Amino acid sequence: MPKTCLAAVMPAPNAPVELREFPEPELEPGAALLDTMYSEVCGTDVHLQHGKLSGVPYPIIPGHVSVGTVAKTRGPLKTVDGDSIKEGDVVTFLDVHETCNHCYHCLVARQPNRCPSRRVYGITYSVNDGLLGGWSQAIYMKPGVKMIHIPAALAPETFIGGGCGIVTALHAVDLARLRLGESVAVLGVGPVGQSTVALASLSGAGEIVAVDGVADRLAYARRMGATQTVSLDTPRKERLSQVHGMTRGRGVDVVIECSGHPDAVSEALDLVRDGGRVVVCGHYTDNGAVEIHPHYQINRKHVELRGCWGSRYEHFHRAVEIGARFGGEKPWREMVGGKYRLEDSAVALGAVEERSVVKALIAMGTFSGVSF
Ligand SMILES: [Zn+2]
Ligand SMILES: [Zn+2]
């Protein structure tokens, strides 16, 4: 009997997620197969469901950050640390794959996150390309996919609680070139914003101001290291004067926009001090346009405005190390608001969409069907 595996498939934008059965893949040299433990459900998956990211080859198996046990390998595989990857090991992998190291973006601009060959598990692979998303009982590791062991000190739930959010946040905090004692405002404290607060705090920031419309999220941000919170219930003008009041009228040194609301980009430019830095990482998908006044908000303020697209291996690798070292101090694990069975993927997606949980997990262990 040929073995099969079940995966949750997003057939097309705005079509309901459905379970499909797939044959067990043949491993090409250098490939591996993971028995999935957990895969996350994040805001990007909600946007994918609504078709808000261009170039997505539906139908897809969503799930870009996952943890699994190595079920099979073909050929010797090693991590960047030189450790062998063996059957039974608990690993995670960088969802970004196939950056070419041959093009202008990779070699001259040195920004492989903009390489045109770049592919992302759970986002830019079709089901016709194979089991290349985490909402599946098994995930195919193509040759060259960067796997890393989940260290003994890091519970898989803690890592995946940070998940794609901590990796993106690390990239954003790097781009902000945060210095010890500087003030930071984080606009939007969903998964990326919460990790941004935590990493700003671990980086030795001074005042850390979390801004969001959900009271629970603001309370949680305090546990992640926010020193001040500002509610979106407060009118924008008042929010501005509150933040100015925290910084002797200057505005914060750094604003990291993680909300995905176009207006937040304009607000970020208002909240930052003259000569400060603004990093935009909440607009991974198209959430529309906003009017900016270049004279007052950028040029005259001498502001540095940077976009942050995806991540590179270095962010992923360091995120695992940070999770292992600080997972006890920062409550990433509790970010997971619900664990769902594979067949309840649509329910998990709904919970993230209506913001009743910060993050949801598809947990394979709870599935009773066939598995490799
Ligand atoms: Zn390239
Ligand atoms: Zn994500």
- In degrees, rounded to 5, the angle at the alpha carbon of residue 279 between the alpha carbons of residues 262 and 258 is 55
Query: Of the bound ligands, which one is closest to the alpha carbon of residue 118?
Result: 1
Q: Tell how far the Cα of 284 is from the centroid of ligand 1, in angstroms.
A: 20
Q: Tell how far the Cα of 40 is from the centroid of ligand 2, in angstroms.
A: 7
Query: Of the bound ligands, which one is closest to the alpha carbon of residue 312?
Result: 1
pLDDT of residue 355: 83
Report the amino acid identity of residue 21: E
Q: Tell how far the Cα of 324 is from the centroid of ligand 2, in angstroms.
A: 20
pLDDT of residue 180: 98
Count of C-beta atoms within a 10 Å radius of residue 80:
11
pLDDT in tens, 188-231: 999 999 999 999 999 999 999 999 999 999 999 999 999 999 99
**What percentage of the chain exceeds 90 in pLDDT?**
88
pLDDT in tens, 41-54: 988 899 999 998 88
pLDDT in tens, 74-125: 989 999 999 999 999 999 999 998 889 999 999 999 999 899 999 999 999 9
pLDDT of residue 285: 85
Find out whether 259 and 239 touch, Cβ atoms under 8 Å: no
pLDDT of residue 346: 94
What pLDDT band is residue 372 in, cutting at 50, 70 and 90?
Answer: very low
Find out whether 360 and 63 touch, Cβ atoms under 8 Å: no
| Mean of per-residue pLDDT scores for the chain | 94
Q: Tell how far the Cα of 337 is from the centroid of ligand 2, in angstroms.
A: 15
pLDDT of residue 371: 40
d(CA 124, CA 64): 10
pLDDT of residue 1: 53
pLDDT of residue 37: 96
Alpha helices (runs of H) in the chain, residue ranges in sequence order = 43-49, 104-107, 156-176, 191-202, 215-224, 236-246, 262-271, 313-326, 345-353
Report the amino acid identity of residue 67: V
Query: Of the bound ligands, which one is closest to the alpha carbon of residue 119?
Result: 1
d(CA 218, CA 209): 10
pLDDT in tens, 153-187: 899 989 999 999 999 999 999 999 999 999 999 99
pLDDT of residue 369: 39
pLDDT of residue 366: 45
pLDDT of residue 2: 61
